[in-house]
Amino acid sequence: MDHLLFTGANGFLGKNIILKLKENFKIMTLDIVNADILHDLCKEIPKFNQTNDIVLHAAGKAHSIPETEAEKQAFFDVNYQGTINLCKALEQSGLPKSFIFISTVAVYGCEVGENITEDYPLNGDTPYALSKIQAEQYLMEWCEKNQVVLSILRPSLIAGPNPPGNLGAMIHGIKSGFYFNIDGGKAKKSVLMIQDIANLVPLLAEKGGVYNVCDDEQPSFGQIAELISKQLGKRKPFSIPYFVAKAMAVCGDLLGNKAPINSVKLAKITQPLTFSNKKAKENLGWQPINVLDNFVI
């Protein structure tokens, strides 16, 4: 069995795939608490007592909107400087054969689009996106210099038990009875089953590459909401006409970002944003798990 170093082991990804990875790898975990190696990557360079064959770098900061300069800087401290410190530690302990970095489709900076490929420009301008872009660029140079096989995964929305972010907010809204679809919830979004990250690791370790990862279904908001409602034993969320939502959004614009809905949020909810998984399927021989058939909250 190859030795695999998993950073960010207590995050959403780690909690859901480490047991699966243990079927094929000897796992060493790194995180601030509850890990084999207790360390904060953004503060200093860790020391490893063994060489690992594969590094799965999932430690990162996401799912928050910064309001201060310090909060903005935290993204770069964790996502970019943390990556640099990890690589410096690997130089000292022994280089891995393969490095897998969990990035994000946010690097494209797209709010709307269909079947966006890996060739799309990296126009993301949020602290989250920019910090991930910087980390990707650093790793490309570092891995080429050190002859390490690099894989960069750009997942879409990730589905799994107790998800954070937008899916978590949707579940909370449906559970509390305050979620509704707009214009039938027809807008399609790319989603990835979290188990697919574990399925991809053995394929990536040898080949490397930059890949968008999502399922083939590209489900709509309405389909996802209906699936969650059934699991919660709730009625299917009702839908309001677009013109009603638009009026609410205009009012929300006056209230600021904390409003339940504003024009920016309305655009995200009612317009498609999907990504192409063709490259990963063709290059890796990967077949993604269908989200609507397998997502359990």
Q: What is the fold of 2-169+191-221+274-294? A: Rossmann fold (3.40.50)
Domain borders along the chain are 2-169+191-221+274-294
Q: Which of 3, 65, 4 is nearest to 197 (CA)?
A: 4
10-residue block means of pLDDT along the chain (297 residues)?
Answer: 96 97 97 96 95 98 91 98 98 98 98 96 97 98 98 97 92 93 94 98 96 97 96 94 93 81 85 97 98 96
> Contact at 8 Å (CB) between 222 and 186?
yes
Question: Taking the alpha carbons of 239, 244, 246, 249 in that order, is the dihedral positive or negative?
Answer: negative
Provide the 8-state DSSP code for 285.
Answer: -
- Strand (E) or helix (H) holding 193: strand 191-193
The pTM is what?
A: 0.95
> So what's the pLDDT on residue 257?
67
Contact 104, 116 (CB under 8 A): no
